[in-house]
Structure 1
Amino acid sequence: MDQVIGVALPLFAIILCGYIARKKQLLNEVSTTGLVNLVYYFLLPAFLFIKTMSSTLHQGLDWRLLGSFYGAGAIIFIIALVSGRMLYRHSRVSLAIRGLAAISSNTGYMGMPLVILAFGSAAIAPAVAIVVFDNILVLIGGSLLMEITQGKQAHWKQALMQVLHGIPRNPIIMSVPLALVLLIANISLPQPLRAFGELLSNAAIACALFALGATLAIRTTKVRHADVWQVIALKLLLHPLIVFLLARYVFALEPLNIKIAVTMATLPVAVNIYILASRYRAYVN
């Protein structure tokens, strides 16, 4: 317990600092947006790139890890859809956001720092894999799902092409394949370039958590409290429980990978889901 507190408390303290800074107007809307963009386009991609370059991800990935993580996600997604429809009569587009909110973890801003600090360098490869797949899931799967649920099935191919064209411009997704190419080709970064990447990478954790706190300070919701608490229970309680059961008893993962998968599943909802909900005006005020 002391180890968990020792790792988690500093992270949440930084989030709290960001929250206070925004509430006290030390950061306004423009500066908050700028900070988020700094993290998204520069710091977090550099962090993923440098960590991938230091990992063994290029030697292979244990697909059982993804099977347990996203198998549990599929189960939770269905539960969120069915319960949302039966209990609250949500529209299809709101159900889609509800389902995504119940399964999508804040793996980038919180997950990577948390598991690396808690479990060391051995956690880098599986953590990076989950971060990349989560971003692909939201970017491609989430966007297409929203198009379809809004009755735009005729345009799904166009939406798919737009999403696919956007992948090369997504720095978080592209940072990992780029690092893997260099690793497989046995190409080392020149020292000045590596130092540049490490400087950006070293700033990523604190800035990402600070930005997360700042964005939390400006969010409000008017959806029903029972509805919100049900999604919270699905995300923070049932999701990690099912991940554990699948990882331990179905896929028989190693203890470290079980801890990583469960930790990632226990994290709160990803910022990308809020952005997606705002874009489609679903499940937000």
Structure 2
Amino acid sequence: MNYAQLLFPDFSLILCGYLVCRYTALNRTVWQQVESLVYYFLFPVLLFHSIVRSPLDLGAASGLIAAGLTMGVLGIALAYSLPYLPWLGAHIDRREHAASAQVAFRFNSFIALALAERLAGAEGLLLIAVLIGVCVPLFNVGAVWPMARHANTGFLGALVRNPLIIATATGLAANLLGFQMPVWLEPTVTRIGAASLALGLMAAGAGMQFGPLASAKTLAVSLLAIRHFFMPLIALGLSWVFRLSPVQTTVLLSFSAVPTASSCYVLAARMGYNGAFVAGLVTLSTLLGIISLPFALGLLR
């Protein structure tokens, strides 16, 4: 599989946002409004639709679910531990870490869905939908908690008001209750989801500055190492521990190695943190996915 070709659309949209923001009249003032649209409307609709469109068979995929949740908890623990490590903590700014820790464990659901379908067909698509449905709430809570804690805004209040977590919770509840999107509404919701992907990636590019990455190189390297090296190794170990089938192992490994979520930038920017630094991490993660996906699916599997 040509991983560079698979990742090119995401990276090209980030590049388009960067160029449009800096070399046209569509400057940061315009893109700040786009960020609000994506964060409060487009991304929540996308999350809800992604979760409800495939029935969750929790029993048949219990081993995969346990492995995915365990991998997520370990990834969050690794990301949170960085400021407390004696050889790294002194070089890590706590506020920058609060905004960017999410990069280490969140994932690009569109790339994950595309990979699963190409690697394992309909079965792979269903399994990755199950993983997305059970892991998104955990990862969103893990992303919001350090920012709310550092800003002293109240964790529970931040969760209740967070549109991404609201969309995920309602999507899971609707799925388990057997809700199905009406056929006449499906095309509209699908187009909203496509718009959220394009605008979210372009907004990340518009807010991107490579300067902040140089000022926090230790943090950037540490987070990207967790996302693209340690997470695949953890996934491989868990596939043995939970005795996953070959298809489940393939799905879990691909899930562990995809680039981080483009919405990392939107979440950090809308919560008042350094979005430019997070946008740079998202861009580098997209590039590193070209290496980590062959590593996970080729060498490890």
Matches of 2:57 and 2:159 in 1, distance apart?
Answer: 21
The reply to whether residue 213 of structure 1 matches residue 214 of structure 2 is: no
- Name the CA distance, whole Å, in 2 between partners of 1:186 and 1:128: 14
- Cα shift at 1:76: 4.8
Structure 1 residues 42 and 204: alpha-carbon distance in aligned structure 2, compared to 1, 3 A threshold: same
* Residue matched to 1:112: 109
C-alpha distance in 2, partners of 1:274/1:235?
Answer: 22
Return the alpha-carbon distance in structure 1 between the equivalents of residues 224 and 176 of structure 2: 42
CA distance in 1, matches of 2:143, 2:4: 30
Query: Partner amino acid for 1:248?
Result: S
| Deviation (angstroms), 1:137 | 1.2
1:33 paired to 2:26: no
Q: Which runs of 5+ in 1 are unaligned?
A: 148-155
From 244, 259, 267, the equivalent of 2:260 is: 267
d(CA) in 1 for partners of 2:104, 2:75: 13
Alpha-carbon distance change, 23 to 193 in structure 1, aligned in 2, over 3 angstroms: same
Match of 1:43 in 2: 42
Q: CA RMSD, aligned part only?
A: 3.5
1:5, CA displacement in angstroms? 2.2
The 1-side partners of 2:237 and 2:102 are apart by 15
When residues 102 and 45 of structure 1 are mapped into structure 2, their CA distance, relative to the original with a 3 A threshold, is closer
SS in structure 2 at match of 1:178: helix
Q: Partner residue of 2:66?
A: 63
Residue type at the aligned position of 1:262:
S
Q: Structure 1 length as normaliser, TM-score?
A: 0.73
Gap change, CA 1:26 and 1:228, over 3 Å in 2? farther
Query: Residues 195-234 of structure 1: matches in 2 within 5 Å?
Result: 195-216=187-208, 218=209, 220-221=211-212, 224=215, 226-228=217-219, 230-232=221-223, 234=225
Residue 115 of structure 1: how far off its partner (Å):
0.8
Alignment check: 8 A CA contact 1:17 1:213 kept:
yes
Deviations 1:222-259 (Å, cap 9, x if unpaired)?
76465255435534444334433443344444213322
Residue ranges of structure 2 left out of the alignment (5+ in a row): 118-124, 279-301
Letter in 1 for 2:255: A
Question: 1:151: which partner in 2?
Answer: none
| Letter aligned with residue 43 of structure 2 | L
Structure 2 residue 14 is the aligned partner of structure 1 residue 15:
yes
The SS at the match of 1:278 is coil
For the pair 1:278 / 2:273, whether they are aligned, the reply is yes
Aligned partners of 1:73 and 1:239 also within 8 Å:
no
- The answer on whether the counterparts of 2:13 and 2:198 sit within 8 Å (CA) in structure 1 is yes
Alignment of 1:82-121 (within 5 A): 82-83=84-85, 85-86=86-87, 89-90=90-91, 94-95=93-94, 97-98=96-97, 101-102=100-101, 104-105=103-104, 107=106, 111-120=108-117, 121=125
Question: Does residue 1:175 correspond to 2:177, yes or no?
Answer: no
Q: Which moved more, 1:119-128 or 1:230-239?
A: 230-239
SS state of the match for residue 26, structure 2? coil
Higher mean C-alpha displacement, 222-231 vs 163-172: 222-231
Is 1:81 the equivalent of 2:83? yes
Q: Secondary structure at the match of 2:141?
A: helix
**Counterparts of residues 104-253 of structure 1 (less than 5 Å):** 104-105=103-104, 107=106, 111-120=108-117, 121-122=125-126, 123-144=128-149, 146=150, 159-160=153-154, 163-216=155-208, 218=209, 220-221=211-212, 224=215, 226-228=217-219, 230-232=221-223, 234-253=225-244
Larger relative contact order (CA 8 Å, sep ≥ 6): 1
Task: Please report how far the alpha carbon of residue 97 of structure 1 lies from its aligned counterpart in structure 2 after TM superposition.
Answer: 4.3
Which moved further from structure 2: 59-68 or 229-238? 229-238
For 1:213, give the aligned amino acid: G
Distance 1:200 1:250 in 2: 39
Distance 1:185 1:103 in 2: 30
Distance 2:57 2:271 in 1: 31
C-alpha contact (below 8 Å) 1:46/1:197 kept by paired residues: yes
**Aligned-residue identity in percent:** 18
3-state SS of paired residue (2:157): helix
Kindly provide the amino acid, as one letter, of the partner of residue 77 in structure 2: A
Q: Secondary structure in 2 aligned to 1:27?
A: coil
Q: TM-score, normalised by structure 2?
A: 0.70
